[in-house]
Chains A and B, each alone.
Chain A
Amino acid sequence: MILGYAGKFLEVNLSTEKIKEVSFDDEVLRDYVGGRGLAAKILWDRLGSKWEKIDPLGSENILLFLTGPLTGYFPGGRICVSGKSPQSNGVVGSTVGGEFGVELRCAGYDGIIVTGEAKKPVYLFIKDSDVEIRDAERVWGKDAKQTVKILTKECRELLKERFPLYGEWKEPALLYIGPAGENKVRTAVVAAKWTHAAGYGGYGAVMGSKNLKALAIKGTGPLPPVADMKKIERLIRVVNDNAYESELWRRWGTGAGGYEFGAKTSSEPVRNWQNEWHDEKSFGVDQFENRVWIKQSWSDFGCPTCCLKIAMVKNGKFKGAITDNPDYEMQAYLGPNLGIFIPEENVFLSTLIDDLGLCGIQTGNVMGFAAELFQRGILTRKDLDGIELKWGDAEAFANLAKKIALREGIGDLLAEGTYRAALKIGKRKNLDVLQYAVQSKGISIGAHGIRSGKDYPEIISYVCSVQGGDHTSTAGLPLAGGGSELMEIFNDSGVYCNFNSFGIPRNVRFNFYTAVTGLKLTRKEWCSTKALRVLQLQRAMLLLGGPDQKWNPKVHDANPPRFYEPLLSGPYKGKTAKKSAVEEYKRRYYRAVGWDKNGIPKSENLRKLGLQDVDRALENLRRKLPP
């Protein structure tokens, strides 16, 4: 057995209510590490042969909650949620912060595999090796804060009753869905704590389709044993010192971006990406600090960065709205992207989105899309059920968000996500509205534009990513460099927080892995074989797709048309991405990761990595798209 792993995975079949423990061979854990990598492997092994027919929102889909060997040791633990994505029909490794991963490993498991579909709403209660499927009727339909409150109380009472002598129980770690997940909205999140969210991938909808409202876990054991504790302590110090010194994130969280990215690098979505520059001083981070932040630092277990702030609206129309730090993505997508430049309104919308269990990025994107169609007169007031969807009207957007979460009227259509909604509206109105949809392969693009060229994503970052528009998994060259997707795969597979690894020497994370597991791993080895294997698996499943949408790399490996429109104002006025440069870069990227001209992984490369069955599965696609 490899050190650093608990060695057991919990498999829960909700249809038959059977619970068992499974484990994986050492080779599998060594090659795929955990988290996103292992998720790709498990999904391919179990569903690969019939991937195209699996409905992501059906009972056949598998929902995975996986940790990695570094979870709990590397400062800032996370948990990776995965499965067949209802957004991209591929695999997305969506990670969320909080204590869930650490508690899970302390309970003696490396991950939870959920199959089947419960007949009525349930939640999973785990205390070390005691696993129980419990009735969740009383929290079904409740918003995020209510769910947390009721379940925390219920679980603590349960623990007190069962272990009366233990002392005072702390709250269990929770993963749960809001009303949006229950209604299978494709932009629903799996939320943790209050309210961190795994948004990309839409796994909230998958959880809802399985009638699984929440998972509550309490582990009392130690973390799994490691190879070299002394070395880990030393490395934790390196990471912590680096985090203590980066004043930016410790003081401002990522919140400073709201103004910085908009005004300085010109890469923030403004009115559904019609522009990427604004100089509204009212949206500066100092405004947030003075007007709405009530707690300066809040962090999850073991995290030195403390990027969370707590914001509350203190007066005015939206008095009483409380949320955790509208971070940069929330600030951008629920702010300038909807034409809103007032911190209070932004906090109000962010609170609402959290409570409904929606993804702020993707719901912000689809609402911006709807507002642009309203601006252009394509969607009328009648289409929008009487909502006057003007830019900057927070209440109108709040009404729309509620409709989306409950799938009422126009909300039912927009709940399908930007891409699918665009197709449907296009069909209904007989117009090409896909040109206003800013997404890549079904996944909305994160709030980092490429047109000005001053932010970190490159022109093919979203084009070639195996996770579509995911801004935390962007493609780029060189493959072993910092901007490459392969390094992101390591973060998501070791399952720890991206933010704590900014600025540390590159080899620290691999040394960390070696200290935990006792296995040698270098950056070169990771980038040339292991990460590449995960990348090819994800790419293969993305291209196989189905059942409702399939991606043709010739058509869909492209930036949204909006990114070729010149910027309207600001210091980078007129700048835009060049189609020829994108094509050229794309060709180079294909060659580097071993894909053919059509973007399909090459046969010999797959065989070299030991993925013969993937190669066979892609044969059909290759025939359809001759080189």
Chain B
Amino acid sequence: MLVPGVEFPHFCAQCEDYPCVQSCPVNALSVSKKTGAVLVNTKTCIACGKCISACPGRIPHMHPNGKYVLICNLCNGNPKCVKVCQEGGWDVLKEISREDRNYKLYARRPEETTRDLALKIYGEKAEEFL
């Protein structure tokens, strides 16, 4: 929440060209055949941070203690976040099947999403907070 009241989930968009996987110098990242999510091989990962800079949405995070990177793996095809959201009745997150679309379009940095959402909620007043 960079602007008061503007909170949103910040998720991996599953880009179709996987810039993170391509940026990895040690081939620690791979794409799951089943779900299309990015999998991290924690043993080979050297925590160089290249995938973080390569990601258009800056999704990957360094593990606070271990020396490897964390990327959403869609809970092996059963995303828990979607389950919670549906159970709570918010109905914001949904599971959809993968189609031939430009998913990279949805990879946004938190600052960008905040700007759009804040303008939508507060109108011109949002400029003050940004």
The answer, yes or no, to whether B43 is at the interface (CB within 8 Å) is no
Interface residues of A in 287-313 (CB under 8 A from B): 294-295, 297-298, 304, 310, 312
Identify the closest chain B residue to A325 (Cβ).
B5
Asked if A166 and B122 make an inter-chain contact with CB atoms under 8 angstroms apart, the answer reads: no
Given A240-B88, A297-B90, A304-B88, check contact A310 B5 (CB 8 Å).
yes
The answer, yes or no, to whether A399 is at the interface (CB within 8 Å) is no
Question: Which residues on the B side are within 8 Å of A167 (C-beta)?
Answer: 49, 52, 58-62, 69
Pick the interface stretch among A145-153, A579-587, A602-610. A145-153
A138-176 toward B: CB 8 Å interface, digit per residue (1/0)?
A: 000000010011001000000000011111101100000
Asked if B5 and A221 make an inter-chain contact with CB atoms under 8 angstroms apart, the answer reads: no
The answer, yes or no, to whether A590 is at the interface (CB within 8 Å) is no
Size bin of chain B's contact surface: 20 to 34
Q: Within the assembled complex, what's the spacing in Å between the Cα atoms of A324 and B48?
A: 41
SS class, residues of chain B in contact with chain A: loop
CB contacts between A and B, total, < 8 Å:
66
A360-403 toward B: CB 8 Å interface, digit per residue (1/0)?
A: 00000000000000000000000000000000000000000000
Q: Within the assembled complex, what's the spacing in Å between the Cα atoms of A324 and B59?
A: 29
Interface residues of A in 220-252 (CB under 8 A from B): 220-221, 240, 244
Given A145-B4, A240-B88, A297-B90, check contact A322 B62 (CB 8 Å).
no
Given A244-B87, A297-B90, check contact A165 B129 (CB 8 Å).
no
B4-34 toward A: CB 8 Å interface, digit per residue (1/0)?
A: 1101001000000000000000000000000
Residue from the list A145, A171, A324 in contact with B2, Cβ < 8 A: A171
Given A244-B88, A312-B122, check contact A168 B110 (CB 8 Å).
yes
Q: Within the assembled complex, what's the spacing in Å between the Cα atoms of A128 and B65?
A: 11
Given contacts A163-B62, A168-B58, A320-B125, 11 further A-B contacts (CB under 8 A): A164-B49, A165-B48, A165-B62, A166-B61, A167-B60, A167-B62, A168-B10, A168-B61, A221-B65, A240-B88, A295-B5
26 A/B residue pairs, CB under 8 Å, sorted by A = A128-B64, A148-B4, A149-B129, A152-B2, A163-B62, A166-B52, A166-B62, A167-B49, A167-B59, A167-B61, A167-B62, A168-B10, A168-B58, A168-B109, A194-B1, A194-B4, A194-B5, A221-B64, A221-B65, A240-B88, A244-B88, A244-B89, A294-B121, A310-B121, A322-B5, A322-B125
Q: 9 closest Cβ contacts across the A-B interface?
A: A220-B64, A194-B4, A165-B49, A167-B61, A168-B58, A310-B5, A166-B62, A167-B52, A320-B125
